[in-house]
Amino acid sequence: MATLQTSTLSAIRSQQNQLLNDWIDGLEASGATRNLKEQDLKQQTSEFLSLIVNGLERDSGQNIAAAGWDEIRQFLEKLSHSRALLGQDSHQTANFIFALKGPLFNLLQREYKDNPATLAEQLWEISELLDALGMHTIRTFQKSRESVIKRQQEELLELSTPVVKLWDGVLALPMIGTLDSQRTQVVMESLLQRIVDTGSEIAIIDITGVPTVDTLVAQHLLKTVTAIRLMGADCIISGVRPQIAQTIVHLGLDLQGVVTKANLADALKLALTRLGLNVTKAV
């Protein structure tokens, strides 16, 4: 198996500044520098090229999973995560690596212009290494992007299910949109935690903003009601519109033992009554 020649490493070391300038020009021409600060780009390209040279000098081979490439793998993982946060796609991120091929190939062509066999051999070695690093970058980018998307989805779920304190001992959870298993889990966790934090005795789940109630949605509601009761609190479901009531009856869903009200005002009135409070208009 061919290996990189000492003369190849010497050429890369001696021409690092020119390689960096050509590399950055190529990145800018391809649009891979979108949302990147000039100083950050210069720092990243310089660090990456230095890490490649260090790895090659240690004769780390082409297996980038080897210990000799630990530093460059960590660099690429950090790079991928930062690019995902900046909103770049996998193509732009991987192109950071692949854009280095052109300047390196030009350098090798000048170095081995009189030795075609060695030139082909060295081009292959460099190409194989950069391809492996590029694929590693794509894999880590995808993982980072998935992590960012998952966190954003969780934050949106939390924002879409705010737990509101209506009165001392009374919490309300206005639901908007469709209920699914993931959202139900977030609802239960946030609501149960608020019950513990506030010591509330009654929780009102308002489904005025829930477009439809089917068997699955009803099951999710019942699970939430059961969890609330296990915490020693009571639960009232408000916002049961005529259409939803008809759907529940048509599906034959069993909501026995669950107190329901047509609107949030009626639910709050019932909650206050259960707390022994009576609200009247001031004369």
| Residues 149 and 35 both lie in one domain | yes
229 lies in some domain: yes
Q: Determine the pLDDT at residue 157.
A: 59
| Residues 140 and 174 both lie in one domain | no
Q: Determine the pLDDT at residue 57.
A: 82
133 lies in some domain: yes
| Residues 146 and 185 both lie in one domain | no
Last residue within a domain, chosen from 94, 125, 157: 157
282 lies in some domain: no
Q: Residue 234 maps to which CATH number?
A: 3.30.750.24
| Residues 25 and 104 both lie in one domain | yes
pLDDT of 172 > 70? The answer is: yes
**How do residues 209-265 score in pLDDT, each as one tens digit?**
888 777 777 777 788 888 899 989 999 999 988 877 787 788 777 667 788 898 999
Give the C-alpha separation, 170 to 199, whole Å.
9
Average pLDDT, rounded, for the chain: 85
Range(s) of the domain holding residue 121:
6-157
| Residues 174 and 101 both lie in one domain | no
| Residues 137 and 79 both lie in one domain | yes
- pTM for the predicted model, two decimal places: 0.54
Q: Determine the pLDDT at residue 154.
A: 66
Last residue within a domain, chosen from 157, 191, 218: 157
Last residue within a domain, chosen from 157, 177, 209: 157
| Residues 130 and 170 both lie in one domain | no
253 lies in some domain: yes
pLDDT of 179 > 80? The answer is: no
Q: pLDDT band for position 160 (50/70/90)?
A: low
280 lies in some domain: no
Number of domains in the chain: 2
Q: Residue 105 maps to which CATH number?
A: 1.10.490
